[in-house]
């Protein structure tokens, strides 16, 4: 049975908090859209949280890419930001958190984006401190 046709009915019961994570198993309702599935199960707050994870990961990868002077990290930041965009678009076409591989990949990529940000920020601090002229008090 398709869950998309009954989405307004499900959301109307509890729009803010949803019905609870794992309530709608793929055996009973097939949504084929993770964003809608999240809105039904976790409500508007859960959807905002998942969207926040995706946006924060993309922002972290782009910011880390911009702060770094290393070409390898810049390419990695671009690749990870693009991967997060791709997986978030793909979630519109299948219920991605119902599959362990795609769910794990989403959060693995988000963690790697955070790592790129941390490395890029450290690289930026190191680069700016090396380019700063020494004052007489520093020596």
When pLDDT is cut at 50, 70 and 90, the band that residue 50 belongs to is very high
When pLDDT is cut at 50, 70 and 90, the band that residue 82 belongs to is very high
| pTM of structure | 0.84
CA-wise closest residue to 32 among 114, 117, 90, 102:
90
Phi, psi of 30 (to 5 degrees): -110, 115
CA 24 to chain centre: 22
73 versus 126: which is more confidently predicted? 73
């Amino acid at each position: 049975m398709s869950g998309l046709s009954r989405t307004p009915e499900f959301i109307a019961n509890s729009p803010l908090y949803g019905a609870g994570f794992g309530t709608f198993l793929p055996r009973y309702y097939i949504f084929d859209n993770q964003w809608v599935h999240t809105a039904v199960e976790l409500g508007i707050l859960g959807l905002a949280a998942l969207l926040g994870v995706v946006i924060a990961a993309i922002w972290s990868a782009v910011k880390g890419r911009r702060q770094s002077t290393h070409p390898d990290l810049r390419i990695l930041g671009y690749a990870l930001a693009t991967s997060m965009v791709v997986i978030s678009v793909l979630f519109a076409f299948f219920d991605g958190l119902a599959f362990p591989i795609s769910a794990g990949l989403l959060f693995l990529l988000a963690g790697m984006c955070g790592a790129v940000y941390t490395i890029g920020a450290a690289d930026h601090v190191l680069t700016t401190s090396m380019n700063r002229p020494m004052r007489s008090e520093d020596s």
